[in-house]
Structure 1
Amino acid sequence: MNSLTEARIEEIRAFNRFYTKVIGVLQSGMLDSPYSLTEARVLFELAQAEGLAMEAGELRRLLDLDAGYLSRILTRFCNDGLIVRERSATDARRQIVSLTEAGSLTFARLDQRQAEEIATLLEGLSEEDRGRLGASMATIRSVLDRSAAPRGPYVIRAPRAGDLGWVVWRHGSFYSQEYGWGLDFEKLVAGIVSAYDPARDAGWIAEIDGTPVGSVFCMHKDDTTAQLRMLMVEPSARGLGLGGRLVEECLRHARESGYKRIMLWTRDCLVSARRIYQAAGFALESEEKAVENGVEVVEQVWTRDL
């Protein structure tokens, strides 16, 4: 295990220690109740069944709990009058669990109390910090829960203050991680962004749940030619057709602005982007070998008439 991996592990462990204190997991009872976080989660899952019974085995698999541990929790709930346990009519080996009226009321109180605790936590934060907090939590979920479906729906809008910095940052960080391109590439993107003139050019930011996930810009090349620049879609947002939609916006703007032709510069390793360009009617015009941060690349120019 190298030092960078060890540092990353310690960062995650430190965050876990901090966040468990914030949500009160280390207290004997969650939200000033007699029930632990795990017990509250069991009540939550039973409540989601909306009055229907749930098999104990299904509950155990859903929460990934030890069978003996879950059995002790259910025994406590039964003694407290929160649930009813019965044998399945079709298979006596299976146990069916459902909330009683008292169990539903207990969950409702816990649910309301949790909402109040979170509201109190958010009260001391600015709207910007609330947005950062929500986006960061969404990022943690999207990175760790690889089975999760893409979030949505997406919105495509004009750039706002802060978006241009995001474009430079994401291009620099993403292409460094994925392809080994370094600071010179990020400086190249920063130069393109600095040349962006909203009075003449146009740009679009794609976002999901208020978080930027993609970009594209249509910029002036010469009197008859526009240039498509800085197309990017976050890996977490791919599969939604976002790249094609962003290119469509760029082509529409170029036509409406009176350009006769549009071109773009890319590299042959960006296979997904190339497929989008081909589907939009672009054709390869030229290519040449180059080097980016010690990495050999093939730079390409693609064009199409408007």
Structure 2
Amino acid sequence: MTVQDVRAFNRFYTNVIGALDYSRQLYAPYTLTESRVLYELAHSPRTDAADLRTGLALDAGYLSRILNRFERDGLIERVPSPQDPRRRRVTLTPRGRETAALLAERSDQAVGTLLSTVPAADRERLSEAMRTIRDLLSEGRGPGREDVVLREPGPGDLGWIVQRNAALYAAEYGWNADYEVLVAKIVAEYAQDHDPHGERVWIAELDGRPVGCVMCVRDEAPGTARLRLLLVEPDARGLGIGDRLVSAVVGFARSAGYRDLVLWTNDVLTSARHIYQRHGFTLVAEKPHHSFGKDLVGQDWRLDLGTTPE
């Protein structure tokens, strides 16, 4: 392979991407770069402006102009970071989330139209070629945080949540099939009857496969949401996936108008507890119990969504 081969491919692929944005309608009224910023904010609800600039490799002045426009359009809110007042935390407003979701939907539709021109028998070959390019050009780097995508569940994902929860907790903590029964019940109740405006499931995807999940559902207490079934695959830990999933739940619950966010966990799940604490959850009660074939200490945690996140 020569430099000219790579440049020729780049020209070809640039034309493909340009064709997706037909007549500049795909991201209208925002540019491709502005849409990338919206996407990043939608998937990282607790992002500082400095993080955006670094992650997207944008000039500080250019990013500032984009954020100024978003603020004028009512898409974002900017407040000083509690950790460092010199930094600005950027979060999407409900209108911003709606806009980001609309742009993502248009992008999915455009890519779907492109893929419809590829014979079904060749799509796996195309997918494998894309993975090969990514793998070879990132040789030795390994997956990074930017390679993880948070998305809504697709066909088979709810079953995956049940299967992986049962398998992982059996392997790591020795829990029996009673836990699988509990998870299956939670997932089935969500699948059968959930409010899309107040309840949601996230799947974390890496290299085309699910590696994590979390759920936000309405609690029995009025004005309260419940975080459930946080899970990250062992080989995907260390990429901040658990933190992003919890951030997504907190941001969603706050934008949906809940006053409180609660969760139930067990004291043996130390990594998850540390994530909850970083997001401002406080322990409100704990009680020993025998469940899933083990003696455990159950814990109730709560986050007041009316307070400024730490």
TM (norm. structure 2) is: 0.51
Within 5 Å, give how 1:1-306 maps onto structure 2.
Answer: 149-150=142-143, 153-196=147-190, 197-199=194-196, 200-221=198-219, 222-306=221-305
Which residue identity lines up with residue 236 of structure 2 in the other structure?
Answer: A
Displacement, 1:292?
2.5
Whether contact under 8 Å (1:150, 1:236) holds in the other structure is no
Residue 211 of structure 2 aligns to a residue whose secondary structure is strand
Residue 195 of structure 1 aligns to a residue whose secondary structure is helix
Runs ≥4 residues deviating over 2 A: 123-132, 147-152
Which residue identity lines up with residue 268 of structure 2 in the other structure?
Answer: C
CA deviations over 1:154-207 (Å, ceiling 9, x no partner): 000111111100000000000011101111100101111112115341111000
Which residue identity lines up with residue 297 of structure 1 in the other structure?
Answer: L
Whether contact under 8 Å (1:225, 1:259) holds in the other structure is yes
Question: Cα gap change, 1:286/1:129 in structure 2, threshold over 3 Å: closer, same or farther?
Answer: farther
Q: Provide structure 2 residue ranges, at least 5 long, that are not aligned to the other structure.
A: 2-118, 132-139, 306-310
Residue 290 of structure 1 aligns to a residue whose secondary structure is strand
CA deviations over 1:66-97 (Å, ceiling 9, x no partner): xxxxxxxxxxxxxxxxxxxxxxxxxxxxxxxx
Whether contact under 8 Å (2:216, 2:227) holds in the other structure is yes
Displacement, 1:130?
9.8
- By relative contact order (CA 8 Å, sep 6+), the higher-ranking structure is 2
Whether contact under 8 Å (2:166, 2:179) holds in the other structure is yes
Whether contact under 8 Å (1:243, 1:276) holds in the other structure is yes
- Give the equivalent residue in structure 2 for 1:141: none
Distance in 2 between the 1:257 and 1:124 partners?
Answer: 39
Residue 276 of structure 2 aligns to a residue whose secondary structure is helix
Question: Cα gap change, 1:130/1:168 in structure 2, threshold over 3 Å: closer, same or farther?
Answer: farther
- Give the equivalent residue in structure 1 for 2:40: none
Q: Provide structure 1 residue ranges, at least 5 long, that are not aligned to the other structure.
A: 1-46, 48-122, 136-146
Residue 258 of structure 2 aligns to a residue whose secondary structure is coil
TM (norm. structure 1) is: 0.52
- Give the equivalent residue in structure 1 for 2:87: none
Percent same amino acid at aligned positions?
45
Whether contact under 8 Å (1:282, 1:304) holds in the other structure is yes
Distance in 2 between the 1:128 and 1:201 partners?
Answer: 33
Aligned residues: 176
Question: Cα gap change, 1:264/1:126 in structure 2, threshold over 3 Å: closer, same or farther?
Answer: farther
Distance in 1 between the 2:124 and 2:288 partners?
Answer: 44
Question: Cα gap change, 1:204/1:127 in structure 2, threshold over 3 Å: closer, same or farther?
Answer: same
Question: Cα gap change, 1:148/1:258 in structure 2, threshold over 3 Å: closer, same or farther?
Answer: same
Whether contact under 8 Å (2:176, 2:293) holds in the other structure is no
Which residue identity lines up with residue 216 of structure 1 in the other structure?
Answer: V
